[in-house]
Amino acid sequence: MIAIAHPTTLYYLILAAVLFGVGVVGVMVRRNPLVLFMCVELMLNAVNLTFVAMARKLGDIGGQTTVFFVLVVAAAEVVVGLGIIVAILRRRPGATADDLDELKG
Amino acid sequence: MAAILAADSLRGPSIDWLGLSPLLILLGAAMVLLVVAVLTPTWPRGLYAWFTVAASAATIVLAFVQWHRIDLHGTKTLVGGAIAFDHFAVWMTITIAVAILLVALSTDGYLRREGLDGPELYALYMLCAVGGIVMSAANDLIVLFLGLEILSIALYVMAASHRKRVESQEAGIKYFVLGGFSSAFFLYGVALIYGSAGSTNFSKIIASFGSTVSLDRHDGLVLAGVAMLIVGLGFKTSSAPFHFWAPDVYQGSPTPVSGFMASAGKAAAFAALLRVLIAALPYWRDDYRPVIWALAVLTLVVGATMAVIQTNVKRMLAFSSINHAGFMLVGVEAAAHVAGNPSAGRGMSSVLLYLLLYSVLVTGTFAIVAVVSRTGDNATDLAAFRGLGRSRPTLAIALTVLLLSQAGVPLTSGFIAKFGVIQAAVDERSYALAIIAMVTAVIAAFLYLRIMVSVWVQDPEAGDDAREPVRVPWTGGLAIALSVGFTIVVGVAPGWLVDLSNSVTNLAH
């Protein structure tokens, strides 16, 4: 029988670090531009979780309000990112990151 | 109910609107341009560019007023401690405004040649500049992050803005993914520092570590946070090993936009790096200084050596810009030696001087490349520059002056810039770094010589006649002339500007 400890701040920090790591690895290994983009969003949300966990530990509202700023920034990034992805996919349907090889040297 | 309405219990921070005016002018001009241009028919030719030029000139004038006010009344923070009001911020405001002024002039002819004339790019320049100014004036990590994102998101759009070139969109998506990636690192660093310091405000971070730093100096959380911040800003400053996006993005972006990235974008990122390291984290200077040292060496060497094997001028200039970033890091390393001391050494002011001089230089250089790249913006390989000395001698002389200046030849502004950071490094006894920097300057000189050989020595080959002749629009010519003039004037008589930069000593917090 495993005794489940009451979750502490550390649990959330570790979860956030793991999520961030998943995002980092995803950006490095995945090839679909949309999935790359989702991995970046995952990283930002991992940071949000860190902020909230830290804010709870510190008893400070600042970290929680920061999350709203990050959400707005992420939304703005979505708008621009999807715009660029759509522009590329319209020109070259089904393009992956490996197909984007006009620029090299 | 009535009591709640009557009581004036909610009081925001007092705001010094005059202190914020350089920023607000640019923001207002961008909004006006976006809204009015949508509602009115197409403006007469060139008016979008001149509107941008007027806005940035107004910003520069107001920034000088702020400079004078700081001389009189000293530094302070604005908007409840979120924004610093000091010489450093004003200097960066001027640098960024000068960059958009020159870039807007060179964009005018470019957009018309490419058949893309419109207000969007100019509005983005100004919004981007607002982000850069917020970054360099931030006194809070979250404010700095917001500035970084305003700058970056505008830059992603600008990189992808050439609708007719597939390379431009490719540059946009590459920059976007890697930029978002690096922003996430930066933000994670902010979160970790917030967790250990209890605040994101620079003053409060310093205050919270002030008592604990000697006992708990090797707090892993803070060190990880500092490392993440450096990684995030390392991407934006295009420091090796985080530089790999730069050549692709510079090559693919519309050429004036590449000039903008290398000037305003890089300047804002370096200002943010200095702010974070010097104003927020001076207690950790012995921990991050070796990291900056290693970054500087790698950036110098990678920039200089990789540039030599390129054949595309925009890629060459991208690596040259990485090499310049290495020189700036030499100055940052010197500044890190004395972080937190009441009397700042020469490190910080030498970086600021470098940023201003390099911004003018590189916008001028890219303005010439924009002209030579011809319709379609694709003629940027070395071959496209062959015979330029014969067909357009004035343009070729301007390019030669700018390239010599980038190489750091005496009597040009590039020499003054390089001399400043090397002197700062020697002051702090970073002899090894100073020597490595000078050696890479010699290697990098080869790259500038290669372009000059193409321009002056190599004869046009068969097939070159088929190329469209190079046409210099007068606005682009004006940008080039201003840049060359500034380069020579500062190179010959640098005293006033060096003195001005040396008056940037302490950061407000």
Q: Which of A 60-89 lie inside 8 A of B, CB atoms? A: 60, 62-63, 66, 69-70, 73, 76-77, 80-81, 83-85, 87-88
SS3 category, B310: coil
Look at residue A6 and tell me if it is in a domain.
Answer: no
First to last CA, chain B: 40
> A47 — contact with chain B (CB < 8 Å)?
yes
Of A20, A77, A88, the CB nearest to B173: A88
Half-sphere exposure in the Cβ direction for B192 (13 Å, CA): 21
> B458 — contact with chain A (CB < 8 Å)?
no
Task: Round to whole Å and give the CA distance between B122 and B371.
Answer: 18
Asked whether B188 and B195 are in contact (CB, 8 A), the reply is no
- Chain B residue at shortest CA distance from A99: B170
Global confidence as pTM: 0.94
* Beta-carbon separation of A84 and B200 below 8 A: no
The domain spans of chain B are 15-502
> A102 — contact with chain B (CB < 8 Å)?
yes
Q: What is the CATH number of the domain that holds A50?
A: 1.10.287.3510
Task: Round to whole Å and give the CA distance between B483 and B480.
Answer: 5
* Beta-carbon separation of A50 and B176 below 8 A: no
**Exposure class string for B34-56: b at 16+ Cβ within 10 A, else e:** beebeeeeebeebebbbbbbebb
Half-sphere exposure in the Cβ direction for B14 (13 Å, CA): 3
> B166 — contact with chain A (CB < 8 Å)?
yes
Task: Round to whole Å and give the CA distance between B205 and B196.
Answer: 9
**Per-10-residue mean pLDDT, chain B, length 509:** 60 83 94 90 87 96 93 86 91 96 94 88 95 95 96 95 88 92 95 90 85 57 92 93 93 95 95 92 88 96 91 93 96 90 83 96 96 87 87 93 94 94 93 94 92 87 73 92 96 91 79
- Chain B residue at shortest CA distance from A68: B142
Q: Quick one: pLDDT at residue B215?
A: 46
Residue A94 has pLDDT above 80, yes or no: no
- Chain A residue at shortest CA distance from B160: A84
Q: Quick one: pLDDT at residue B332?
A: 95
> A18 — contact with chain B (CB < 8 Å)?
no
Q: What value of ipTM does the predicted structure carry?
A: 0.93
Residues in chain B: 509
Q: Quick one: pLDDT at residue B10?
A: 72
> B219 — contact with chain A (CB < 8 Å)?
no
In which domain, by residue range, is A43 found? 11-94
Total structural domains in chain A?
A: 1
In B, which residues are within 8 Å of A24 by CB distance? 181
* Beta-carbon separation of B166 and A92 below 8 A: yes
Task: Round to whole Å and give the CA distance between B380 and B371.
Answer: 10
